[in-house]
């Protein structure tokens, strides 16, 4: 039987070979969270490479004695991502390495996703340890009805000025955008038209985003303003902007009510932003948690997850998935 250290060495060797997406089946991921993360990227059509590069961190004479190999490289975004689903003690070590890496290679873009960030990413798609089935209630109001009204009036005025002399097409993605779209368009003093689209959501397979409701009209040559409720990782918007560009609009800009900057993976220019928000799960004014709360007239923060307390039932989606896995032997 191989000793623990032999096993580790073998794994390190396996891990060193650079492996490119999207042939996930061929990649020997070191951890299931990495495979899941790759599936999410595949779904949103974000290209990735698995551990394509090791950065030397420390030398003894000529010999490299310490290296750092980020888990993923996203070539289109020129971004390295390190997933740390590890124990806190190991995270501290990783942070040290990362700081060192940034000092030695200030030109590289590298991002650390903590266990909690990763679990939140999964929870957003309805599974993982932070996914809840029960409704938890509102902790506090983050943006009041008055603040929404004031800011949306300003956005409408700004857009009216910037698009003066044109007839813009506002495109929204259902369903979260409904209240914002309807308030915003009433503050734009221009002839305009509205289009609504629907896209499928990540559910654990890597089929890729599907447009479940497409535009009703041709937008070639039109000035298009994409209206969003919230930009989080940016993956949905990135996908949609690529798609809309193939329809040859005269211009394509983005207006989002909320910008959750702290969680961005795909950085996109957002021309109009209502509010920058922190890394908290928000509901109301269109935003849902398991389809609830969309009708709140304000934006609120959900009660924080009570992780570490009593175990919770996994979400329906997660249970469904587990059953599927059982039934389909690999
Ligand atoms: P992205 O692709 O990660 O940018 O996801 C954007 C989508 O995630 C939004 O259109 C929302 O549907 C959803 N989302 C992101 N953050 C929140 C939140 O705090 N509350 C509710 N939905 C959210
Ligand atoms: Mg949305």
Give the ligand 1 atom nearest the CA of 176.
Answer: 12
How many Å lie between the centroid of ligand 1 and the Cα of residue 228? 10
SS3 140: strand
Cβ 230 under 6 angstroms from ligand 1:
yes
- pLDDT at 115 (0 to 100): 79
pTM of the shown model: 0.72
Confidence bin at 125 (pLDDT 50/70/90): confident
Greater pLDDT, 155 or 37: 155
For residues 268 and 54, give the distance between their C-alpha atoms in angstroms, rounded to a whole number.
28
From 232, 259, 267, 279, active-site residue = 232
For residues 256 and 285, give the distance between their C-alpha atoms in angstroms, rounded to a whole number.
13
Least confident range from 11-15, 79-83, 92-96, 129-133: namely: 11-15
C-alpha closest to that of 301 among 260, 255, 267, 268: 260
How many Å lie between the centroid of ligand 1 and the Cα of residue 281? 9
Hunting for tokens 């709140």 — which residue is that? 296
CATH 3.10.290.10 applies to domain 139-302: no
Residue nearest atom 8 in ligand 1 by C-alpha distance = 232
Cβ 256 under 6 angstroms from ligand 1:
no
Residue nearest atom 10 in ligand 1 by C-alpha distance = 230
CATH architecture of 4-124: 3-Layer(aba) Sandwich (3.40)
| Domain boundaries along the sequence of the chain | 4-124, 139-302
Question: Quick check: is 216 catalytic?
Answer: no
Q: What is the pLDDT of residues 157-176, one digit of tens each?
A: 999 999 999 999 999 999 99
State the ligand closest to the CA atom of 199. 2
Q: What's the rounded mean pLDDT across residues 37-42? A: 89
For residue 302, what is the enclosing H or E element? Answer: strand 299-302
Which mutation among 118, 209, 230, 268 tests ligand 1's pocket best, with the greatest number of atoms within 8 A of CB? 230
Average pLDDT, the chain: 82
Q: What is the pLDDT of residues 262-313, one digit of tens each?
A: 888 898 999 999 999 998 889 999 999 888 899 999 999 987 664 433 333 3
Cβ 233 under 6 angstroms from ligand 1:
yes
């Amino acid at each position: 039987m191989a000793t623990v250290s032999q096993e580790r060495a073998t794994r390190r060797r396996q891990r060193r070979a650079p492996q490119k997406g999207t042939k996930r089946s061929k990649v020997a991921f070191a951890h299931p969270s990495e495979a899941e993360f790759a599936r999410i990227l595949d779904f949103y059509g974000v290209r990735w490479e698995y551990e394509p590069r090791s950065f030397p961190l420390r030398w003894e004479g000529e010999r490299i004695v310490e290296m750092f190999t980020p888990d993923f490289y996203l070539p289109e975004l020129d971004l390295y991502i390190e997933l740390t689903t590890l124990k806190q003690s190991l995270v501290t070590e990783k942070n040290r390495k990362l700081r060192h890496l940034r000092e030695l290679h200030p030109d590289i873009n590298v991002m650390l996703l903590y266990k909690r960030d990763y679990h939140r990413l999964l929870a957003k798609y309805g599974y993982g340890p932070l996914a809840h089935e029960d409704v938890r209630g509102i902790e506090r109001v983050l943006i009041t009805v008055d603040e929404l009204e004031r800011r949306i009036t300003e956005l409408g005025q700004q857009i009216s000025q910037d698009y003066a002399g044109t007839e813009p097409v506002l495109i929204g993605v259902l369903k979260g955008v409904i209240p914002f779209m309807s308030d915003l368009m009433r503050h734009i003093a221009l002839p305009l038209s509205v289009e609504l689209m629907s896209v499928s959501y990540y559910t654990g397979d890597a089929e890729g985003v599907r447009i479940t409701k497409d535009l009703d009209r041709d937008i070639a040559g039109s000035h298009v303003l994409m209206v969003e409720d919230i930009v989080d990782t940016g993956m949905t918007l990135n996908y949609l902007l690529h798609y809309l560009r193939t329809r040859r609009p005269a211009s394509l800009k983005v207006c989002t009510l909320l910008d959750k900057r702290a969680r961005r993976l795909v950085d996109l220019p957002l021309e109009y932003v209502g509010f920058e928000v922190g890394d908290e799960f928000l509901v109301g004014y269109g935003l849902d948690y398991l389809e609830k709360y969309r009708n709140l007239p304000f934006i609120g923060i959900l009660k924080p997850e009570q992780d570490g307390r009593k175990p919770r039932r996994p979400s329906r989606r997660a249970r469904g998935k587990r059953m599927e896995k059982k039934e389909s032997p690999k």
